[in-house]
Structure 1
Amino acid sequence: MDHTGVDRMVSLRRQFHRRPELAFDEIETARTIMLELDRLGIPYDYGGAGGGVVGRLVGSGPGRRIALRAEMDALPCEEETGRPFTSAIPGRMHACGHDVHMAMVLGSAARLAADPPPGEVVFVFQPAEERGNGARIMVEAGALDGVDAIFAGHVTTEYPVGRIMVSEGTITAHSDRFCIEVRGESGHGARPHEAVDAVLVTGLLITSIQSLVSRYVNPVWPSVVTIGQVRAGTAANIIAGYAALDGIIRTTRPDVRREIIEGLERTASALGELHRARIDVRIDESCPSVVNTPAETALAVDAVGEVLGEDAVVVADHPSMGAEDFSWFLTDTPGCYVRFGARSETGEYIPLHSPKFDVDERVLAVAARYYETVVRRAAGLSCVTLSADVADLP
């Protein structure tokens, strides 16, 4: 990849980074994407304010329709990287690498537009990944209609630049959110026998819920139940008549998910009856597990090998308990989701969503090459093998 292409990706990444926008508010971000697609001569559809952008590159002959996806939204986070291109918007930051993802896909679009493969390449720029429902909205709007396969990826500082994690099957957890509301009877703090203490019932719920994973799920099957918020009470001397708690459930097997949800509802019902409280449980599905399909995973492995050499492939030995709404794109379309090594130039591991999160920008060239190669392979073509020496990258 020539220096001009790499420099353009770096410039775009930094432009996105300076102007982060939250979920469903990616208006300036979408405008920047559309201007770049205009520059490349790629037509697109735009869903309007808070919507996604879908570019369509039509090749010279019939062939498969292959999609690439990038997310657009940032996080409500105060940046602490100290970089010259730090966020210009207080309280907002691209702390999950979506700025990098957009630049990668636009870089691959430039490469593919210069020599279009047969068929069609669809470039999906998705809003609201951090909310867990942006992908679902785009699927329901028909963004993937007629698409034969879709590919995406995410930067990670777990690996250095030049390593790409590719694994078949389940690679992320199924994510559900839950809200439990406890309704008792308020009363004077000195006369508990005249009240139904919602705080007491909530405390019992919290401890009981934790036993669902530790005592009802086979320990070899990854699962997590976390309660992140508890709300109750108005004064120290008033027994609360209302309390609520919010949490998440992460599982990697449908039967385990079902057991935990049923256990949650069973526990709430039993404690409510025991303590004369009304307890309501609401479960909201955020997104299913990402399940990489066999044929598309094999294509991805071959593409990594062609770009960087076989030793660059990292195979995960267990799924991540994180969630990723790319899974909605895989509901009816085969595909593969990879992780691009992007450890910062300092060599320090900085987790996603940290106010200090940053990447080694050489990952842009690696990812753009990978995306171009996987699209051409999916179209039945092959690319020239590129140097596996990351030090040679611009």
Structure 2
Amino acid sequence: MESKAPQEHAAWIGPLEAAVEESLEGLFLLRRHLHQHPELSGEELETTTHVARLIEGLALPLKIADQQRGLTCELLAPDSASDLPRLALRADIDALPIQDAKQVDYHSCREGVMHACGHDVHTTMLYGALRVLKQLADDDHLPWPIAVRGIFQPAEETALGARYMILNQALRDVAAIIGIHCDPSRSVGRIGISPGVLTANCDMFKAKFRGRGGHGARPHQTIDPIDAATQWVQSVYRSVSRSLDPHEATVISIGRFDAGNKANVIPDNAILEGTLRTFHSGARASALETIGKISEAVTLATGCDIDFELGFSAPAVDNDPALVEVISHAARQTLGKHAVEPIPRPSMGSEDFSYYLEHLPGAMFRLGTCSEQIGQEPLHSPHFDIDQRAIAGGVRLLAATVIEYFDPRRND
């Protein structure tokens, strides 16, 4: 990408900074409102309505998805930019089934539901970026035309939302997509980003063990599914890692074990649920083959039938190098020359942002949200919070990335 002198940026960076500063008080209030009123995946009706009202206030065309959850909107500046392929900016809007344990005045008002992954922050920053870009357009401070699609997506935590929004035509006329995620391991003013694989493939699975129950005093008259399940777990934990190349990161974890309801009764059935995470298709295939062999061996040893079922499978997020360069350049321009921190190795977590990348190039970056005072609790913690100064940086970066992306010299 062509290097541009700082004076060439002054014409729009100054107004962008001013527009962000002018918006901050309202954005802080929006984030706190969303944090107080979280909604679980599949239930984001009030959040969608609230965001829609905000977008209507910007006089941007919007479309609410068919189940009244999630929406898209358009920012074309000038109107003649309608012929340009869109750059999509995506934010997720759902929360988690976690009890908010923070002692703050913006504590969640909903029992057992909390924005513990920063989706309220993502939503606020996307709205803020649209608001700032709209103001720059109205004040004639944009250096060239832009065409933005805002995607406010439900159900990220259940990995259903991206595909739902795609079915609702969220990617129509879109050429590329940018995603953002809070990162409590990084300081405010820093971003983590790298080209290539960012997150792992994630397979949800269920293993059903069908035995024959009976009295706990006479186990010889039963086919004990708990015995079979525990053998299976130990074998899978040990063998999957031992059967694969150590350079091929693979993580298998059991998150649910359900069997029986009385201390002295051996049940008929047991159920395990868990996740398998890999970076490459070869490692995934090898792990599943090993699991199949273990299931056959445990059945032979215990007499218990085992049904292994794969659930949803979220592919890996694979960042487009050209978009990573655009984001990185925008970060250095707006957050400082040392703002960009390369991510040395991919995360074993998963993100349904990857489903968009099956259709077009995209990139996701991680925005630092912690300081010495606040924001050091990990994602999905009941104490999760952010240093709200991160919101200003995220808005500046998203807006600047849009402007950089549409620079007519970028592909010269």
Q: TM-score range by the shorter chain?
A: over 0.9
Contact 1:50/1:127 (CA < 8 Å) preserved in 2?
no
Deviation at 1:232, TM superposition (A): 1.3
Quote the residue 2:101 is aligned against. 80
1:120 is paired with a residue whose SS is strand
Contact 1:287/1:323 (CA < 8 Å) preserved in 2?
yes
Deviation at 1:158, TM superposition (A): 0.7
Contact 1:64/1:118 (CA < 8 Å) preserved in 2?
no
Quote the residue 1:147 is aligned against. 174
Contact 1:345/1:359 (CA < 8 Å) preserved in 2?
no
Contact 2:369/2:375 (CA < 8 Å) preserved in 1?
no
Quote the residue 2:84 is aligned against. 63
Residue 43 (str. 1) matches residue 64 (str. 2): no
Q: Structure 1 stretch 64-73 or stretch 347-356: which is displaced more?
A: 347-356
Unaligned runs of 5+ in 2: 1-16, 138-143
Contact 2:92/2:152 (CA < 8 Å) preserved in 1?
yes
Deviation at 1:275, TM superposition (A): 2.2
Match of 1:99 among 102, 120, 137: 120
1:47/1:348 CA distance change after superposition, 3 Å: closer
2:185 is paired with a residue whose SS is coil
Quote the residue 1:385 is aligned against. none
Match of 2:43 among 17, 22, 25: 25
Contact 2:375/2:384 (CA < 8 Å) preserved in 1?
no
Contact 2:129/2:395 (CA < 8 Å) preserved in 1?
yes
Deviation at 1:17, TM superposition (A): 1.0
Deviation at 1:246, TM superposition (A): 0.7
Distance in 2, matches of 1:103 and 1:80, equals 22
Distance in 1, matches of 2:159 and 2:126, equals 21
State the TM-score, normalized to the length of structure 1.
0.93
**What percentage of residue pairs aligned between the two structures are identical?**
36
Per-residue Cα deviation, 1:228-250 (whole angstroms, up to 9, x for no partner): 11111233333322111111111
Distance in 2, matches of 1:79 and 1:329, equals 31
Residue 89 (str. 1) matches residue 107 (str. 2): no
Per-residue Cα deviation, 1:226-274 (whole angstroms, up to 9, x for no partner): 0111111233333322111111111111111111112112211221133
Q: Structure 1 stretch 303-312 or stretch 354-363: which is displaced more?
A: 303-312
Distance in 2, matches of 1:142 and 1:29, equals 20
Residue 257 (str. 1) matches residue 284 (str. 2): yes
Alignment of 1:192-203 (within 5 A): 192-203=219-230
Deviation at 1:347, TM superposition (A): 5.0
Deviation at 1:332, TM superposition (A): 1.2
1:106 is paired with a residue whose SS is helix
Quote the residue 1:124 is aligned against. 151
1:264 is paired with a residue whose SS is helix
Match of 1:5 among 23, 43, 49: 23
Match of 2:130 among 109, 114, 129: 109
Distance in 2, matches of 1:150 and 1:53, equals 15
Residue 52 (str. 1) matches residue 70 (str. 2): yes
Distance in 2, matches of 1:212 and 1:293, equals 34
Deviation at 1:344, TM superposition (A): 4.3
Per-residue Cα deviation, 1:58-112 (whole angstroms, up to 9, x for no partner): 2223433100000101111221221221112222111111111111011100111
Kindly tell me the number of residue pairs found equivalent between the two proteins: 382
State the TM-score, normalized to the length of structure 2.
0.89
Contact 1:171/1:320 (CA < 8 Å) preserved in 2?
yes
Quote the residue 1:390 is aligned against. none
Quote the residue 2:14 is aligned against. none
Q: Which amino acid aligns with 1:314?
A: E
Quote the residue 2:358 is aligned against. 331
Distance in 1, matches of 2:400 and 2:118, equals 22
- CA RMSD after TM alignment: 1.7
Contact 1:63/1:379 (CA < 8 Å) preserved in 2?
no
Distance in 2, matches of 1:194 and 1:82, equals 54
